[in-house]
Amino acid sequence: MHQDKGDTKVVKIVTVYSSKGGVGKTTTSVNLSYLFATDKCRTLLWDLDPQGSASFYMRVKPTLEKSIDKVLKSFKSIDKSIKESDFDNLFLLPSDSSLKNIDFTIDDMKKPSKKLEKTLFQGENFFDLIIIDSPPGFSLLNELLSKVSDMILVPVIPSTLSINSLKLINDFLKECNINIEKVYPFFSMADIRKKMHKDIINEYIDDFKIKTIIPYNSIVEQMGIHRTPMPFFSPNSSVTKKYINLKKELERAIKI
């Protein structure tokens, strides 16, 4: 929970995180950002994955002259780097090339968490919600994002490897002295026709704080063709309805 200068408004930060790629992290970030924005929630989607997939989906190119490492080093506001999307209340801080070396920047900084918070919450722009599409893996950047976030949303494919990946994330956060109560896993890309998927869901769903299960569906791949959020080009699809349920669970969990 973070307040603006006048202490009159509260902004929540949700980091969508996984130690591995291909689990629906960017899809979740983009679709949730759109759904919150259409609900009159002023939303910033921050693409911190070097692959820049969220920026691609939102049809936004990076601003190279205001790379994130320069912003963090200089304490400057992110205002000039924020781009408007094609949708009301939805803004994007696009990925940029400096992300490949961002850990070196963080390692050289003193009190990086405070610097990041100052970077996010100063300037002219104010948001009700910041959704961060984080890079996969275990890095200083992921440690930093986890520290400043109100929720760490973890998509988990119903497989043995993904369940093990979730355990590794919890271990990583514990080593970083981060409260794992902020970790909210949910099943993503689930195919209940597969016995393993069904068995793993049945075994672990009671332990998951988020009960919505996002199914595997080929319509998700069409986001790359339409380059828009799925609820925009397919508002009545079964997957869109699941993302709407996921949004409602987030609202209840951290009172967005």
Please give the single-letter amino acid code of residue 4. D
> 3-state SS of 107-167?
HCCCCHHHHHHHHHHCCCCCCCEEEEECCCCCCHHHHHHHHHCCEEEEEECCCHHHHHHHH
Task: List the chain pLDDT tens, one digit each, 256 residues.
Answer: 565 544 445 789 999 999 998 999 999 999 999 999 999 999 999 998 888 899 999 998 765 555 566 556 555 567 777 899 999 999 998 887 666 666 656 666 666 666 666 666 655 567 999 999 999 999 888 998 999 999 999 999 999 999 999 999 999 999 999 999 999 999 999 999 999 999 999 999 999 999 999 999 999 999 999 999 999 999 999 999 999 999 999 999 998 8
Where residue 134 sits, what CATH number does that domain have? 3.40.50.300
Domain housing 65: 2-254
pTM over 0.85: yes
User: How many domains does the chain divide into?
Assistant: 1
3-state secondary structure of 185: strand
